[in-house]
Amino acid sequence: MFCPKCGKADQESDTFCRQCGVYLPDIDSLAKKQTTPEDHLKANTVMTFLTGIVSITLAIILYAMFLGKENTPVIIYIVAGFLTAMFAWQVQVFIRNLMLKKQLKEKRVIRDKGENDQNVIQPKPAN
């Protein structure tokens, strides 16, 4: 392996270059790492949930602080409205993620059942 910074040859991966000290990652192990759709959905669901909570919390704070006060800039109400709309959007995305998780789980059960049926030796019909 060659160092991408200084070009020194005979380097080992997943260590540091002996000449310039730059980290040399193991490219093969990085390429082999695959994530499942369930992992993507889990991360997406968590981020959607957190974004929804933060947006509704900020909207409530803005409404509580400025609703009905004199000389409140219009932009405050616009921002609070956008935060409320963002919360509504995140709620529907969260529900769709849960539905998709359920659908993936059902498909996986059907696929696993099909694989198990193929592994069972079927008796030959008598003629």
3 pLDDT band, cuts 50/70/90, is: confident
Predicted TM-score (pTM) of this structure: 0.63
Structure tokens at 20: 């310039």
C-alpha 15/C-alpha 24 separation (Å) is: 5
**Type of residue numbered 37:** P
Residue 54: what pLDDT?
98
26 pLDDT band, cuts 50/70/90, is: confident
Q: Where are the domains of the chain?
A: 37-101
Contact present, 22 and 6 (Cβ < 8 Å): yes
Residue 34: what pLDDT?
76
CA angle 31, 35, 114 (to 5 degrees): 120
Neighbouring residues of 37: CB distance < 8 A, sequence distance ≥ 6: 104
